[in-house]
Amino acid sequence: MKYAVLDLETTGHSAEDDIIQVGIVIVSEEMAIVDTFSSFVKPSVPIPPFITQLTGIEEETVADAPELHDVLLKLIPLLDDAVLVAHNVGFDAGFLNGALEKCGYLPFTGRRLDTIELLRVLYPTITSYQLGVVAAAFGITHDHHHRADSDALATAHIFIEAVGKLRTLPLLTLQRLVALIDESRDLHWFLNVNLNLMERTVVFESNEVDYYRQFALKAREWNEEQPARTNGAGSAIPKDMNFEAYLDAVRAKFQERFPDYEEREPQKLMFHHVYEALAADQHLLIEAGTGTGKSLGYLIPALYYGVQSDSKIVVSTHTINLQEQLRSRDLPLLSDVLPFPVKASIFKGRGNYLCLRKFEGKVNARDLVSPVEDAITASQMVVWLGETETGDQEELNLGSRGSDFWSTVSSDADSCLNRACPWFKRCYYHRAKHEANVADVCITNHSLLFTDVQADHRLLPAYSHLIIDEAHHVEEVAGKHLGMNVNYFSLVHIATRLFKDNRTGLLPLLRSKLQNEGDDHVQAWTETIDEIIPIFQEIREHWDKLFEMLYAMMGEGAEGATDNGAVSSSVLRLHHSELPASWDEASGVENNIYVELARVIKTMEKMINDIKERVDDLSVQGTITDLNGSIRDLTRLKDELRIFMKLEQSGFVFWMEASAVYRYRSLHMYAAPVDVSEQLQKYFFDAKDSIIMTSATLTVQKTFQYAEEQLGLLGYETQGKLKTVQLPSPFRYREQALVMVPRDFPVVKGAYVNDSYLDKLAASLVDAALETKGRMLVLFTSYKMLKQVHELMKIGLAAAGIGVLGQGIDSSNRTKLTRRFLQQPESVLLGTSSFWEGVDIPGEALTCLAIVRLPFQPPNHPLQEAKAEQLQRQKQNPFMKLSIPQAVIRFKQGFGRLVRTSQDKGIVIIYDTRVIDAYYGKHFLYSLPGPKIETMFTDQMVPRIREWLGKDSTAASEPEATKEATT
């Protein structure tokens, strides 16, 4: 037996396209490369420009290449008695068989293996399964991406590497994998071949993993975790070490570790401001721009204060990304440089952790909703158990349906057995909670901060000192958590969890387990289950009818966009006083749902309580605990739907959103508080001793007034309870960043954009991109405009070999798009929504940032509208008090994408001339951290870009006509 690793380059993806290059590598059973073959192929159709751009293969390259028939004559013998292996084998095998058929040969019918699938199972934590990314991660030389010979060789090395890992897995893990993958699949055959080999050759199992309940686990029992310091001598801060001495000790350690270390003045100021606020029981709003070293700026003083006063410090971030950065970079560094031992923990929302009891039950019962995809996801997780110590889903690279599978095995309070669970001492959630309790600093996220408030502070360890990073998101997160969101799948997912078919779901599982019990109530319980299941079918029918009716009410709502910008949506705000004509009829359908749900919940609760009292079997107890969790989810859903249909919650705004693509199945019902400032005061600012809030964007026009109003902090400063600080920037913005505004550029009013504007915008962006050789990020506020400009720029830059990547076009995943942008230096990246912040592209990879329009929120969005109405009632101007500050903060975040290090240098082009023409334009420009700002005619921009990038900015000549606005 041998393995034929194949890669094909083609003129496209359709059946009419041709092969233009073949690469094949033969790998022996012993995993050695024994033969290779590659050839260009003369196609019968022209090679499209984008294929040439991708592969480098031109018409000239294949002009003298052999015909397909001649290439196949050499290829077919290599495939004889071989297992076909490819990176996405479906594509290559499909094209191969199409070519064989075209030339009159029999199709390849042998076994096939997909290296993507193998990688997913065996390397569940790598961030991308893209060939180039994997090759780089494995240290495999792969010089010519998208060339069949190089791709086939890289795939062969990846295959060999994967098989090497497969053969070092614990036998127990390999046995689990074989049991999970369906016997009809070639992957099952391959795993089984290797299992048989390992069973014959393995003598001693590795002691790097622990074995428990037929799983191989990396994590041991957690209940031995100890605090960082005991009461022994010299274990805490020496009595003579005041804060200054502590900082000197930390500085000395940094200089020892990093000979080129230079203390940044803004960071030094931040150390003192944070420590003083904590020590004085004050709240602090502190704006710290890019380059300050914000994370260490608050962690270093907070850890000293926490240890000195024996106080728990909680740090909250908005994004999981920043949490992971703190875990992997900042905290390990601090453990090396602090003059005393500290313990830090990461604590996330419960749903981020795997519930081992649920996972065990699902795998043992083969309870797989999607047999192929769920089997791969479960296999990933079986391998991952031997590698993870946290059980945190953030480590996993789950497939497209992976999140659905995860929702059925994640930890949740409603279905937790706590100490009665056989997995309790290995539970990832309770491990994380215990670590948070014994740690000096607990790092969590804004979402859990508010979930903890809703759970009466039972989740996070008790704390009175809180640091909020990315604080400009606090008000938005608070609104989401204190509001509601009911969507079509809210019920569908719970119902599927309870019953999918006669053998899948919690109810069939319970029925099956009860058959083994000798209790005389079993027949009655079974009959109850059989009665409950059809009721869900009735509820589903009412549910579909309700959502169809609500969708019909939507009509033509305001255009919006999803986070990736790919789907426009309609929005309808609901007022209690003026409801759509058919609302009463819809309320009648909701009442049917309410009554039926109440009946089925009551029936299930009665049955569960009866079983709980009479059956001791742990497996049955686990299943009814999971059922209890689903019942609580149904109860919450029933009550939230009732609140939404009544529309009586005071201080709330209600609205619906849906897209035409998925129609009523896309419908979401939202309810959110218009103002969260009172809740923030009640639960945080009045309840905690000291709260530090920091971000790169807290001020508007150098003042914190907007942040104070939104957060409910007005008046705290005059009481001496709040201090505000804006740190100076560590960067030389005047020398590093040039802002250009083309003053003759047309102004767009409203959502409509005409063709002449688009042509002029695309032409200007193409000119700038040619001058900067790509390395450009363009930020849009409209996905529609992004898509139109993407087409025009692609055409304009094709001849120069500069690629154009568009969010929602080339990928909707921000991380993947950013990685592709970094891998292809000569490219332009077009982004909207999520690209305005959190994207880090340091160095020469990003030279030019273009902002197409000022990022105003749609004024007709229901929440925005309700906030504006509230301001009008208070005799205030909503545009100046709300729209402008929101847009300025977003604008500052966008501007912050350009300069990420002290060496970066580049240009920002603002195509929206309102920044210089409108009365409010100064709010935007004055909020920037001091770059050089110039206005000029559009045709003067390219020479100025060349001049700015070609010379030291201080020496650059500046024609007087262009220097109209400079800060």
pLDDT 10s digits, 804-832: 999 988 877 787 788 888 878 789 999 99
pLDDT band, very low/low/confident/very high, at 176 (cuts 50, 70, 90): very high
**SS3 of 196-227:** HHHHHHCCCCCCCCEEECCEEECCCCCCCCCC
**529 near 515, Cβ under 8 Å?**
no
pLDDT 10s digits, 308-348: 998 999 999 998 778 888 888 898 999 889 988 888 999 99
Cα separations in angstroms, 457 against 345, 464, 692: 18, 12, 19
Strands of the sheet with 82-86, listed across from one edge: 33-40, 19-28, 2-10, 82-86, 112-114
Whether residue 442 is predicted with pLDDT greater than 90 in this model: the reply is yes
State the amino acid at position 465 in one-letter form: H
pLDDT 10s digits, 618-658: 888 888 888 998 999 999 999 999 999 999 888 999 999 99
**152 near 25, Cβ under 8 Å?**
yes
Helix (H, G, I), strand (E, B) or coil at 42: coil
Whether residue 523 is predicted with pLDDT greater than 80 in this model: the reply is yes
pLDDT 10s digits, 870-884: 999 999 999 999 999
Give just the sign of the alpha carbon dihedral 660, 664, 667, 669. Answer: positive
Say what the pLDDT of residue 734 is: 92
**How many C-beta atoms lie closer than 10 Å to residue 616's C-beta?**
9
Whether residue 560 is predicted with pLDDT greater than 60 in this model: the reply is no
CA gap 710, 863 in Å, rounded: 14
What average pLDDT score do residues 274-298 get?
Answer: 94
CA gap 697, 890 in Å, rounded: 8
Whether residue 556 is predicted with pLDDT greater than 70 in this model: the reply is no
**DSSP string across 396-448:** ----TTHHHHHHHHB--GGG--GGGSTTGGG-HHHHHHHHHHH-SEEEEEHHH
Q: What is the 8-class DSSP label of residue 827?
A: E
DSSP E strand stretches across 700-763: 722-726, 737-742
The first and second tokens of residue 816, run together, are: 């993947």
Helix (H, G, I), strand (E, B) or coil at 861: coil
Whole-number percent of the chain with pLDDT over 70: 96
The first and second tokens of residue 320, run together, are: 């999981």
Whether residue 497 is predicted with pLDDT greater than 90 in this model: the reply is no
Report the alpha-carbon angle 118-122-125, nearest 5. Answer: 115
Say what the pLDDT of residue 201 is: 85
Whether residue 558 is predicted with pLDDT greater than 70 in this model: the reply is no
**Helical segments of 42-166, H only:** 49-55, 59-62, 68-79, 89-102, 115-122, 131-138, 148-166
For residue 217, the cross-strand partners are: 210
Say what the pLDDT of residue 564 is: 40
pLDDT 10s digits, 182-238: 999 999 999 999 999 999 887 677 778 999 999 999 998 887 667 766 654 445 777
Helix (H, G, I), strand (E, B) or coil at 13: coil
The first and second tokens of residue 374, run together, are: 């769920």
Whether residue 966 is predicted with pLDDT greater than 80 in this model: the reply is no
pLDDT 10s digits, 446-455: 999 999 998 8
Give φ, ψ of 216 to 5 degrees. -95, 120
The first and second tokens of residue 640, run together, are: 């939230």
Closest CA to 8 of 27, 17, 21, 18: 21
**How many C-beta atoms lie closer than 10 Å to residue 680's C-beta?**
22
Closest CA to 432 of 396, 385, 390: 390
Q: What is the 8-class DSSP label of residue 326?
A: I
Say what the pLDDT of residue 238 is: 77
Say what the pLDDT of residue 16 is: 85
Whether residue 565 is predicted with pLDDT greater than 60 in this model: the reply is no
Interhelix angle for 522-554 vs 506-514, to 10°? 180
Strands 215-217, 690-695: pairing is unpaired
CA gap 207, 204 in Å, rounded: 9
pLDDT 10s digits, 660-709: 888 899 999 999 999 999 999 999 999 999 999 999 999 998 999 999 99
Closest CA to 294 of 763, 698, 715, 748: 698
